[in-house]
Amino acid sequence: MNIGFVQFAPKLGDVDSNLRMVDKMLEGISADVIVLPELFATGYLFPSIEFIENIAESAGDGPIYSAMAKWSKEKNCLITGGFPEIDGDKVYNSAMAVFPDGRFILYRKIHLFDSEKLFFESGDIRLKPFQFRGVKFAMLICFDWIFPETYRVLMLQGTQVILHSTNLVLPYCQMASFARAVENRMFIVLANRTGTESTDGNELNFTGGSIIYSPNGEILIQSSDSESAVEIVEIDPDDAVDKNVTGRNNLITDRRPEFYKKLCEK
């Protein structure tokens, strides 16, 4: 199975330009799964809720979904990426996994970061893997990375590959994802963005460094902190089915949940 990511610097609020950029970057690309960054078509550092509402769309209905569905159909692959989702009077920082036939899986970011809490509702969709071509995938968005429980819950449900759309500004996630891959023996595809955004005197510098880890923590591919790139690698998803660490240690059967439960209840 061939999986990969797209890394670039979106323009804040310019959905059409960002979609054209991704469309151009995907020309000639062939893969089974492609992961786009968090909020890849809109930019990130929003000045107001009204600004977001003007570019947000309902899940499965809007220019961002339409572009993702087109790419997925043309390339006969799974496309995932983040977008601002509007649902009634609520706005979520969400991601879609779009199938070649137009079906999609929705995920809403559970752990909001910093100023996101001013605009977005916390996600309300349970962590759950889905299947594509016989492989179990799951989506996470950016700051979800700092909560290892998210990966462990998904691993225990059989997830083989984490599709992680990000807009990272802290310098830790790419390194921390090594531990997440190893401690759960899963593949992690982390698609980050690059560039700088400024709004009302606030400025964010995005760290790039998109990366794919194997269940052994091997770096299969990584981009620089500033380049625009599309990177594809071949993996064997069955490598993430084997949860043995040694001949006598298994990540699932060695767990002692009777002890964890008391700690979690405090």
Which of 38, 85, 116, 197 does the annotation list as catalytic?
38
In this structure, the number of other CB atoms found within 10 A of the CB of residue 201 comes to: 5
Q: How far is CA 238 from CA 33, 137, 254, in A?
A: 16, 12, 20
In this structure, the number of other CB atoms found within 10 A of the CB of residue 97 comes to: 23
Specify whether 109 is catalytic: yes
Specify whether 218 is catalytic: no
Which of 142, 173, 197, 231 does the annotation list as catalytic?
142
- Write the DSSP string, 60-76: TBSHHHHHHHHHHHHHT
- Provide CB contacts within 8 A for 169, sequence distance 6+: 204, 205, 206, 207
Q: What gap in Å lies between CA 42 and CA 53, rounded to an integer?
A: 11
Side chain identity, residue 96: M
Instruction: Give the SS3 label for residue 149.
Output: helix
Q: What gap in Å lies between CA 243 and CA 69, rounded to an integer?
A: 34
Which of 109, 136, 173, 197 does the annotation list as catalytic?
109
List the Cα angle 71/37/190 in 5-degree steps: 110
Specify whether 173 is catalytic: no
82 half-sphere exposure, CB direction, 13 A CA radius: 31
Q: Is there a contact between 175 and 146 (Cβ–Cβ < 8 Å)?
A: no
Torsion of CA 175, 179, 182, 183, to 10 degrees: -170
Q: What positions carry a catalytic annotation?
A: 38, 109, 142
